[in-house]
Amino acid sequence: MTAPTFEELFRNCQRTAVHLEMRDAYMKSDPAFVDWKAGKTLDPAERWADWHALVAEAVGRGVAVRRARIVSTPVSEYIRFEHAVTDGLNIAAGEAVRWLSRRQATDITLPGNDFWLFDSSLVLLNYFDGEGENMEVELTEAPEVAKLCESAFEAVWKRATPHAEFELS
C-alpha cells in the first residue's frame, strides 16, 4: 500500500489542518524566492494557484486551516519574503496565519521538526537539510507524536500574533 500524497491528506481531512514552521529559511533555490529577491512582482494567486484551490476547497467544506511560524528576530531575508507573500498566498486562500518570535517560544515544548497535523491524529513530519533544502517527509499516526504536535501548535497559536498585526523587525 502506498502512502497518501500531501494533496490526498489535505482533501481527506475533515476538521483541521495545522502547520507549524520553525525554520528561518526554506528552499532558497525556490524560483519564487529568487524572483522576489530580484525585485520581481509576484502574483501569489497565479504562481500558487494549486495551493489556493486546495486550501479554498478544504475551507469551503469546513476545515479550519491554520499556520503558525516561529521566527528569529530580526527576521531573515527569507522570512521577509514569506511575510510579503502571506496575504496573497495564505490568507487569500483561507488560511489563518500567526507569527511568534523565537524569544517568546522558549518555554514551549516543541517537536524537533516542522509538521502538518491533520484532524489531530495524522502527522506529516517535514525534514530539511541544514540549508533548508531537500525536504523529506514522514507520515505517522503515533498518538504520542500527534499529542505533542497538537500541544505545541496550540501553545504557539495562543501566544502568536495574527499576520495582519505582526511587524517585521
Number of helices and strands in the chain (H, E): 6, 7
Task: Spell out the residues 6+ positions from residue 72 whose beta carbon is closer than 8 angstroms to its own.
Answer: 24, 79, 101, 102
Report H helices in 40-90.
44-47, 49-60, 77-86
Q: Write down the pLDDT at residue 39.
A: 95
Position 38 in a domain: yes
Domain count, the chain: 1
Look at residue 1 in the predicted model and tell me its pLDDT.
61
pLDDT digit string (tens) for 96-137? 999 999 999 999 999 999 999 999 999 999 999 988 887 899
What would the pLDDT profile of 5-61 be if each residue is shown by its tens digit? 999 999 999 999 999 999 999 999 899 999 999 999 988 878 899 999 999 999 999
Position 61 in a domain? yes
Whole-angstrom Cα distance, residue 114 to residue 55? 19
Instruction: Please list the residues that pair with 88 across neighbouring strands.
Output: none
| Domain boundaries, position 60 | 6-165
78 domain-assigned = yes
Q: Residue 161: name the closest of 115, 119, 105, 90 by CA.
A: 105
Residue 1 lies in a domain: no
pTM of this structure: 0.95
Which residue is associated with the grid cell 528552499? 27
d(CA 26, CA 132): 4
Is 161 within a domain? yes
**CATH number of the domain that residue 92 is part of:** 3.30.870.10
Of the candidates 69, 74, 22, which has an alpha carbon nearest to the alpha carbon of residue 163? 69
Inter-residue contact 100 to 116 (CB < 8 Å): no
CA distance 69 to 71: 6
